[in-house]
Amino acid sequence: MLEVEVVGVRIELPSNQPLVLLKETEGTRHIPIWIGAPEASAIAFVQQGIVPPRPMTHDLLVSVIAATGRSLSEVRLVSVEDTVFHAELVFDNGTTVSSRASDAIAIALRVPCPIYCAPEVLNDTGVQIAEAEEDDDDAAPGPEGQLNAERELRQFREFLADVEPEDFEH
């Protein structure tokens, strides 16, 4: 299994379909996963540190897990079939529970715990986002990390302009 990190939630235009973008931690491939609006909100909220006045479903599940005396040790993206990503929640006692990828990611961010991806999933769905030549005219003031994130986002938007969910079918 290869570790991935959540880059963020994006809206693919012109369809306005939300997606979560993952990136392998030891590489340059990205995995776009088209998700529903509620799951997109759940992921974006936790990334932005927004705490809703009442617990969301993912918060409830994290509380239930803790109340049972268990902990979530990791989340795994285990397969993709017909553009549908399948995941597993892995508990501290080795028990695994099947999950939608978007729910697993939302829960992993709340725990927090690592997110892993099966190599074949990354090989089948991962996309390279080529590093653009740095151009002084395009550079905005700010820390290097922000420049990289802005460049990565711009490149990913350009990629999304030409891709459809069906492109990830076998």
Higher-pLDDT residue of 24 and 170 is 24
Residue 20 belongs to what domain range?
2-168
Q: What are the pLDDT digits (tens) for 47-84? A: 999 988 998 999 999 999 999 999 999 999 999 999 89
Of 22-36, 39-53, 118-132, where does mean pLDDT reach its minimum? 118-132
CATH code, domain with 161: 3.10.690.10
Q: What is the pLDDT of residues 150-166, one digit of tens each?
A: 556 666 666 666 666 66
Q: Which two tokens stand for residue 51?
A: 């705490």
Q: Compute the residue count for the chain.
A: 170
DSSP 142-163: S-HHHHHHHHHHHHHHHHHTT-
Domain total for the chain? 1
> Which residues, at least 6 apart from 140, have a Cβ–Cβ distance to it below 8 Å?
146, 147, 150
**pLDDT greater at residue 170 or residue 51:** 51
pLDDT in tens, 126-150: 998 765 433 444 444 444 444 555 5
DSSP label at 22? E
Residue 122 has pLDDT above 90, yes or no: yes
Residue bearing the bigger pLDDT, 129 or 5 = 5
| % pLDDT > 70, the chain | 76
